Amino acid sequence: MKEKILITRKVFPSIVGRLQEHFDVESNDADYIYAPDELRTRLQGKVGALVSATEIINAPLVQACPSLRAVANIAVGYNNLDLAALSAAGVVATNTPDVLTETTADFGWALLMATARRTGEAERWLRLGLWDKWALDMFLGVDIHGASLGILGMGRIGRAVAQRAHGFGMTVRYHDRAPVALADEKGAQFCSKEALLSLSDHLVITMPYDPASHHTIGRRELALMKQTATLINISRGGLVDEDALADALADNRLAGAGLDVFEREPFVCPRLLANARVVATPHIASASLKTRLAMADLAADNLIAALGYGACAGQPPSPLNPAVLRT
Ligand code: DGY
Protein backbone atom coordinates (compact mmCIF):
# COMPACT_ATOMS: atom_id res chain seq x y z
CA MET A 1 0.00 0.00 0.00
CA LYS A 2 1.28 3.47 -0.88
CA GLU A 3 2.02 6.02 1.85
CA LYS A 4 -0.36 8.99 2.01
CA ILE A 5 0.41 12.62 1.26
CA LEU A 6 -1.63 15.83 1.15
CA ILE A 7 -1.43 18.55 -1.50
CA THR A 8 -2.96 21.55 0.22
CA ARG A 9 -3.67 23.72 -2.86
CA LYS A 10 -4.48 23.12 -6.50
CA VAL A 11 -1.34 22.29 -8.48
CA PHE A 12 -0.69 21.42 -12.12
CA PRO A 13 -1.99 17.96 -13.16
CA SER A 14 1.53 16.87 -14.18
CA ILE A 15 2.67 17.39 -10.57
CA VAL A 16 -0.21 15.38 -9.14
CA GLY A 17 0.63 12.63 -11.64
CA ARG A 18 4.28 12.55 -10.58
CA LEU A 19 3.36 12.31 -6.92
CA GLN A 20 0.77 9.59 -7.61
CA GLU A 21 3.53 7.36 -8.98
CA HIS A 22 4.83 7.10 -5.41
CA PHE A 23 2.03 8.07 -3.06
CA ASP A 24 -1.66 7.85 -2.30
CA VAL A 25 -2.44 11.53 -2.96
CA GLU A 26 -5.20 13.64 -1.41
CA SER A 27 -5.48 16.94 -3.27
CA ASN A 28 -7.48 20.11 -2.95
CA ASP A 29 -8.93 20.68 -6.42
CA ALA A 30 -11.45 23.18 -5.07
CA ASP A 31 -8.37 25.21 -4.09
CA TYR A 32 -9.78 26.85 -0.98
CA ILE A 33 -7.50 27.61 1.94
CA TYR A 34 -7.99 25.06 4.70
CA ALA A 35 -8.82 26.51 8.11
CA PRO A 36 -6.28 25.37 10.72
CA ASP A 37 -8.63 22.67 12.11
CA GLU A 38 -9.30 21.23 8.68
CA LEU A 39 -5.63 21.26 7.78
CA ARG A 40 -4.83 19.37 11.01
CA THR A 41 -7.57 16.82 10.30
CA ARG A 42 -6.50 16.28 6.71
CA LEU A 43 -2.88 15.81 7.72
CA GLN A 44 -3.71 12.90 10.01
CA GLY A 45 -2.08 9.73 8.66
CA LYS A 46 -0.15 11.66 6.00
CA VAL A 47 3.63 11.25 5.76
CA GLY A 48 4.15 14.31 3.60
CA ALA A 49 2.58 17.58 2.52
CA LEU A 50 3.05 19.79 -0.49
CA VAL A 51 2.10 23.24 0.80
CA SER A 52 2.22 26.85 -0.32
CA ALA A 53 2.75 30.14 1.49
CA THR A 54 -0.96 30.19 2.40
CA GLU A 55 -0.55 27.32 4.88
CA ILE A 56 0.86 28.03 8.33
CA ILE A 57 2.78 25.02 9.55
CA ASN A 58 3.34 25.89 13.20
CA ALA A 59 4.39 23.97 16.30
CA PRO A 60 0.90 22.90 17.49
CA LEU A 61 0.11 21.58 14.01
CA VAL A 62 3.39 19.68 13.75
CA GLN A 63 2.85 18.15 17.19
CA ALA A 64 -0.68 17.12 16.23
CA CYS A 65 0.54 15.29 13.10
CA PRO A 66 3.00 12.63 14.30
CA SER A 67 2.98 10.70 11.01
CA LEU A 68 4.42 13.67 9.10
CA ARG A 69 8.00 13.22 7.80
CA ALA A 70 8.32 15.94 5.14
CA VAL A 71 6.80 19.31 4.23
CA ALA A 72 7.65 20.76 0.81
CA ASN A 73 6.88 24.46 0.40
CA ILE A 74 6.09 25.68 -3.12
CA ALA A 75 7.84 28.99 -2.43
CA VAL A 76 11.31 30.24 -1.74
CA GLY A 77 10.09 32.26 1.26
CA TYR A 78 9.36 30.01 4.20
CA ASN A 79 8.08 32.32 6.92
CA ASN A 80 4.95 30.10 6.96
CA LEU A 81 6.99 27.18 8.30
CA ASP A 82 8.12 26.86 11.91
CA LEU A 83 11.50 25.34 11.12
CA ALA A 84 12.42 24.80 14.76
CA ALA A 85 9.23 22.83 15.40
CA LEU A 86 9.63 20.81 12.21
CA SER A 87 13.25 20.00 13.01
CA ALA A 88 12.43 19.07 16.59
CA ALA A 89 9.83 16.62 15.28
CA GLY A 90 12.27 15.20 12.70
CA VAL A 91 10.23 16.54 9.78
CA VAL A 92 12.22 17.55 6.69
CA ALA A 93 11.27 20.98 5.34
CA THR A 94 12.14 22.19 1.84
CA ASN A 95 11.63 25.29 -0.33
CA THR A 96 12.08 26.28 -4.00
CA PRO A 97 15.09 28.58 -4.40
CA ASP A 98 16.81 29.51 -7.70
CA VAL A 99 14.04 28.49 -10.11
CA LEU A 100 12.12 31.73 -9.51
CA THR A 101 15.00 34.19 -9.16
CA GLU A 102 15.00 35.71 -12.65
CA THR A 103 11.22 35.80 -13.06
CA THR A 104 10.82 37.51 -9.70
CA ALA A 105 13.53 40.05 -10.53
CA ASP A 106 11.79 40.78 -13.86
CA PHE A 107 8.61 41.51 -11.95
CA GLY A 108 10.41 43.76 -9.48
CA TRP A 109 11.36 45.86 -12.48
CA ALA A 110 7.83 45.74 -13.87
CA LEU A 111 6.55 47.17 -10.59
CA LEU A 112 9.35 49.71 -10.35
CA MET A 113 8.71 51.02 -13.84
CA ALA A 114 4.94 51.05 -13.44
CA THR A 115 5.25 52.92 -10.15
CA ALA A 116 7.86 55.44 -11.28
CA ARG A 117 6.12 56.21 -14.58
CA ARG A 118 2.55 55.92 -13.23
CA THR A 119 1.39 53.54 -15.96
CA GLY A 120 -1.49 52.00 -13.97
CA GLU A 121 -2.87 55.36 -12.96
CA ALA A 122 -2.56 56.75 -16.50
CA GLU A 123 -4.18 53.69 -18.06
CA ARG A 124 -7.12 53.73 -15.65
CA TRP A 125 -7.67 57.41 -16.47
CA LEU A 126 -7.51 56.79 -20.22
CA ARG A 127 -9.95 53.86 -20.01
CA LEU A 128 -12.39 56.10 -18.15
CA GLY A 129 -12.49 58.24 -21.32
CA LEU A 130 -10.93 61.23 -19.57
CA TRP A 131 -8.23 61.91 -22.18
CA ASP A 132 -9.42 64.90 -24.19
CA LYS A 133 -6.06 66.51 -25.05
CA TRP A 134 -2.31 66.06 -24.64
CA ALA A 135 -0.77 68.26 -21.95
CA LEU A 136 2.80 69.03 -20.99
CA ASP A 137 2.29 68.14 -17.34
CA MET A 138 0.27 64.95 -17.71
CA PHE A 139 1.20 62.13 -15.33
CA LEU A 140 4.67 63.40 -14.56
CA GLY A 141 6.70 60.59 -13.09
CA VAL A 142 10.22 60.06 -11.85
CA ASP A 143 13.08 58.90 -14.07
CA ILE A 144 14.60 55.47 -13.88
CA HIS A 145 17.63 55.88 -16.14
CA GLY A 146 20.57 57.41 -14.34
CA ALA A 147 18.78 57.18 -11.01
CA SER A 148 19.97 55.59 -7.81
CA LEU A 149 18.68 52.07 -7.14
CA GLY A 150 18.65 50.72 -3.60
CA ILE A 151 18.28 47.04 -2.85
CA LEU A 152 17.36 45.91 0.62
CA GLY A 153 18.46 42.27 0.88
CA MET A 154 21.22 41.21 -1.53
CA GLY A 155 20.33 37.55 -1.89
CA ARG A 156 19.71 35.77 -5.17
CA ILE A 157 16.74 37.93 -6.15
CA GLY A 158 18.38 41.17 -5.01
CA ARG A 159 21.40 40.37 -7.16
CA ALA A 160 19.22 39.61 -10.18
CA VAL A 161 17.44 42.96 -9.70
CA ALA A 162 20.85 44.68 -9.50
CA GLN A 163 22.11 43.09 -12.72
CA ARG A 164 19.19 44.53 -14.63
CA ALA A 165 20.04 48.08 -13.51
CA HIS A 166 23.08 48.43 -15.72
CA GLY A 167 21.05 48.95 -18.88
CA PHE A 168 19.53 51.98 -17.18
CA GLY A 169 22.90 53.44 -16.18
CA MET A 170 21.90 53.44 -12.53
CA THR A 171 24.00 53.76 -9.42
CA VAL A 172 23.31 50.62 -7.40
CA ARG A 173 23.61 50.42 -3.62
CA TYR A 174 22.47 47.70 -1.28
CA HIS A 175 22.14 46.85 2.34
CA ASP A 176 22.30 43.42 3.91
CA ARG A 177 23.56 42.07 7.24
CA ALA A 178 27.09 42.27 5.78
CA PRO A 179 28.68 42.99 2.39
CA VAL A 180 28.20 40.07 0.02
CA ALA A 181 30.63 38.74 -2.59
CA LEU A 182 29.30 40.00 -5.91
CA ALA A 183 30.22 38.67 -9.33
CA ASP A 184 28.06 40.24 -12.02
CA GLU A 185 26.53 43.18 -10.20
CA LYS A 186 29.41 45.47 -11.16
CA GLY A 187 29.75 48.40 -8.87
CA ALA A 188 26.89 47.68 -6.45
CA GLN A 189 27.98 49.39 -3.26
CA PHE A 190 27.26 48.16 0.25
CA CYS A 191 25.96 50.85 2.61
CA SER A 192 24.09 51.22 5.88
CA LYS A 193 20.33 50.88 5.88
CA GLU A 194 20.03 54.58 6.71
CA ALA A 195 22.27 55.62 3.80
CA LEU A 196 20.37 53.32 1.47
CA LEU A 197 17.08 54.89 2.47
CA SER A 198 18.25 58.46 2.09
CA LEU A 199 20.20 58.00 -1.17
CA SER A 200 17.85 55.77 -3.19
CA ASP A 201 15.52 57.08 -5.89
CA HIS A 202 13.97 53.61 -6.11
CA LEU A 203 14.17 51.15 -3.23
CA VAL A 204 13.42 47.48 -3.89
CA ILE A 205 12.84 45.14 -0.96
CA THR A 206 14.08 41.61 -1.58
CA MET A 207 15.03 40.49 1.93
CA PRO A 208 13.51 37.48 3.71
CA TYR A 209 10.78 37.95 6.29
CA ASP A 210 10.83 36.55 9.80
CA PRO A 211 9.76 37.90 13.19
CA ALA A 212 13.04 39.84 13.48
CA SER A 213 12.51 41.64 10.16
CA HIS A 214 8.88 42.61 10.87
CA HIS A 215 8.30 46.25 9.82
CA THR A 216 11.87 46.75 8.67
CA ILE A 217 10.37 49.72 6.83
CA GLY A 218 8.37 51.73 9.35
CA ARG A 219 7.77 55.42 10.07
CA ARG A 220 11.38 56.16 10.92
CA GLU A 221 12.65 54.53 7.74
CA LEU A 222 10.04 56.15 5.50
CA ALA A 223 10.95 59.53 6.94
CA LEU A 224 14.53 59.00 5.77
CA MET A 225 13.50 58.40 2.15
CA LYS A 226 13.46 61.05 -0.56
CA GLN A 227 10.09 62.63 -1.24
CA THR A 228 10.59 61.72 -4.90
CA ALA A 229 11.44 58.07 -4.20
CA THR A 230 9.49 54.92 -4.94
CA LEU A 231 9.29 51.87 -2.67
CA ILE A 232 8.92 48.44 -4.25
CA ASN A 233 8.18 45.27 -2.24
CA ILE A 234 8.42 41.84 -3.87
CA SER A 235 9.29 39.90 -0.72
CA ARG A 236 6.72 39.71 2.10
CA GLY A 237 4.17 42.28 3.22
CA GLY A 238 5.16 42.15 6.88
CA LEU A 239 8.45 43.86 6.07
CA VAL A 240 6.59 47.17 5.60
CA ASP A 241 4.36 48.94 8.12
CA GLU A 242 1.38 49.52 5.84
CA ASP A 243 -0.21 52.20 8.04
CA ALA A 244 3.03 54.16 8.03
CA LEU A 245 3.32 53.73 4.26
CA ALA A 246 -0.27 54.85 3.68
CA ASP A 247 0.42 57.96 5.79
CA ALA A 248 3.64 58.76 3.91
CA LEU A 249 1.87 58.47 0.56
CA ALA A 250 -1.15 60.46 1.70
CA ASP A 251 1.16 63.25 2.91
CA ASN A 252 3.12 63.21 -0.38
CA ARG A 253 6.28 62.20 1.45
CA LEU A 254 6.94 59.48 -1.16
CA ALA A 255 6.34 59.41 -4.93
CA GLY A 256 4.77 55.96 -5.03
CA ALA A 257 4.81 52.35 -3.93
CA GLY A 258 4.76 49.16 -5.99
CA LEU A 259 3.49 46.33 -3.83
CA ASP A 260 3.14 42.68 -4.78
CA VAL A 261 2.84 41.52 -1.18
CA PHE A 262 0.76 42.66 1.78
CA GLU A 263 0.71 42.21 5.52
CA ARG A 264 -2.60 40.28 5.68
CA GLU A 265 -3.07 38.77 2.22
CA PRO A 266 -5.48 38.69 0.51
CA PHE A 267 -6.64 41.72 2.52
CA VAL A 268 -5.18 44.94 1.16
CA CYS A 269 -5.15 48.02 3.36
CA PRO A 270 -7.99 50.20 1.91
CA ARG A 271 -5.93 53.37 2.26
CA LEU A 272 -3.23 51.89 0.05
CA LEU A 273 -5.80 50.69 -2.48
CA ALA A 274 -7.39 54.13 -2.60
CA ASN A 275 -4.09 55.86 -3.31
CA ALA A 276 -3.50 56.31 -7.05
CA ARG A 277 0.26 56.28 -6.48
CA VAL A 278 0.14 52.65 -5.35
CA VAL A 279 0.62 49.90 -7.93
CA ALA A 280 -0.81 46.78 -6.29
CA THR A 281 -0.59 43.21 -7.59
CA PRO A 282 -1.75 39.94 -5.96
CA HIS A 283 1.55 38.24 -5.01
CA ILE A 284 2.43 37.26 -8.59
CA ALA A 285 6.12 38.14 -8.84
CA SER A 286 7.09 34.55 -9.66
CA ALA A 287 4.01 33.91 -11.79
CA SER A 288 5.22 33.04 -15.26
CA LEU A 289 3.90 29.66 -16.40
CA LYS A 290 7.41 28.29 -16.82
CA THR A 291 8.52 29.38 -13.37
CA ARG A 292 5.41 28.31 -11.49
CA LEU A 293 5.76 24.88 -13.16
CA ALA A 294 9.42 24.77 -12.18
CA MET A 295 8.57 25.69 -8.57
CA ALA A 296 5.92 22.98 -8.31
CA ASP A 297 8.24 20.45 -9.96
CA LEU A 298 11.05 21.27 -7.55
CA ALA A 299 8.69 21.00 -4.59
CA ALA A 300 7.56 17.58 -5.84
CA ASP A 301 11.22 16.50 -6.31
CA ASN A 302 11.87 17.60 -2.74
CA LEU A 303 8.90 15.73 -1.31
CA ILE A 304 9.59 12.53 -3.21
CA ALA A 305 13.26 12.50 -2.20
CA ALA A 306 12.68 13.60 1.40
CA LEU A 307 10.26 10.72 1.87
CA GLY A 308 12.83 8.25 0.52
CA TYR A 309 11.58 7.67 -3.01
CA GLY A 310 12.89 8.30 -6.54
CA ALA A 311 16.43 8.55 -7.89
CA CYS A 312 17.51 11.06 -5.18
CA ALA A 313 15.93 9.19 -2.26
CA GLY A 314 17.02 10.76 1.02
CA GLN A 315 18.60 13.76 -0.71
CA PRO A 316 16.00 16.43 -1.50
CA PRO A 317 17.49 19.18 -3.70
CA SER A 318 16.69 22.09 -1.41
CA PRO A 319 16.31 21.14 2.25
CA LEU A 320 15.83 23.90 4.82
CA ASN A 321 16.82 21.75 7.79
CA PRO A 322 19.41 19.36 6.34
CA ALA A 323 20.43 18.21 9.83
CA VAL A 324 17.15 16.27 10.02
CA LEU A 325 18.26 14.20 7.00
CA ARG A 326 21.36 13.08 8.85
CA THR A 327 19.52 11.81 11.93
C1 DGY B 1 7.90 32.74 -2.91
O2 DGY B 1 8.37 31.82 -3.59
O3 DGY B 1 8.31 32.98 -1.77
C4 DGY B 1 6.82 33.54 -3.51
O5 DGY B 1 6.60 34.72 -2.81
C6 DGY B 1 5.55 32.73 -3.59
O7 DGY B 1 5.04 32.56 -2.30
CB of 100 shorter than 6 A to ligand 1:
yes
For the whole model, what pTM was predicted? 0.97
pLDDT grade for 327, boundaries at 50, 70 and 90: confident
Residue 186 has pLDDT above 90, yes or no: no
CB of 286 shorter than 6 A to ligand 1:
yes
> Can you give the pLDDT at residue 326?
84
CATH of the domain at 146: 3.40.50.720
Q: Whose CA is closest to atom 7 on ligand 1?
A: 75
Share of the chain above pLDDT 70, in %: 99
Provide the domain count of the chain: 2
Q: What would the mean pLDDT of 15-32 be, rounded to a whole number? A: 98
CA distance 67 to 276: 49
Residue 257: how many CB atoms within 10 A of its CB?
A: 26
Do 174 and 229 lie in one domain? The reply is yes
Do 251 and 143 lie in one domain? The reply is yes
CB of 81 shorter than 6 A to ligand 1:
no
pLDDT tens, position by position, 236-288: 999 999 999 999 999 999 999 999 999 999 999 999 999 999 999 999 999 99
Q: Which of 262, 280, 298 is the last residue of a domain?
A: 280
Whole-number Å distance, alpha carbon 78 to ligand 1 midpoint, is: 8
Q: Whose CA is closest to atom 6 on ligand 1?
A: 75
H-only helix segments in the chain? 13-20, 36-43, 59-63, 83-88, 101-117, 119-127, 156-163, 193-199, 219-224, 242-250, 270-273, 289-306, 323-326
Q: What would the mean pLDDT of 43-52 be, rounded to a whole number? A: 98
**DSSP letters of 131-144?**
--S--TTTT-----
- Give the atom of ligand 1 at the shortest distance from the alpha carbon of 78: 3
Do 106 and 182 lie in one domain? The reply is yes
> Can you give the pLDDT at residue 185?
57
CB of 234 shorter than 6 A to ligand 1:
no
Q: What would the mean pLDDT of 210-214 be, rounded to a whole number? A: 97
Q: Which of 76, 102, 281, 288 to mutate to test the pocket of ligand 1 (most atoms within 8 A of CB)?
A: 76
CB of 231 shorter than 6 A to ligand 1:
no
> Can you give the pLDDT at residue 182?
76
Q: Whose CA is closest to atom 3 on ligand 1?
A: 77
> Can you give the pLDDT at residue 187?
82
CA distance 162 to 173: 9
Q: Which of 243, 260, 280 is the last residue of a domain?
A: 280
| Alpha-carbon dihedral sign for residues 163, 165, 171, 176 | negative
- Give the atom of ligand 1 at the shortest distance from the alpha carbon of 77: 3
Do 176 and 275 lie in one domain? The reply is yes
Q: What would the mean pLDDT of 27-48 be, rounded to a whole number? A: 98
Average pLDDT, the chain: 97
Do 178 and 42 lie in one domain? The reply is no
Q: What would the mean pLDDT of 55-59 be, rounded to a whole number? A: 98
CB of 108 shorter than 6 A to ligand 1:
no
pLDDT grade for 183, boundaries at 50, 70 and 90: low
Q: What would the mean pLDDT of 36-62 be, rounded to a whole number? A: 98
Domain housing 185: 101-280
Do 82 and 113 lie in one domain? The reply is no
Q: Whose CA is closest to atom 4 on ligand 1?
A: 75
Do 108 and 248 lie in one domain? The reply is yes
Residue 156 has pLDDT above 70, yes or no: yes
pLDDT grade for 181, boundaries at 50, 70 and 90: confident
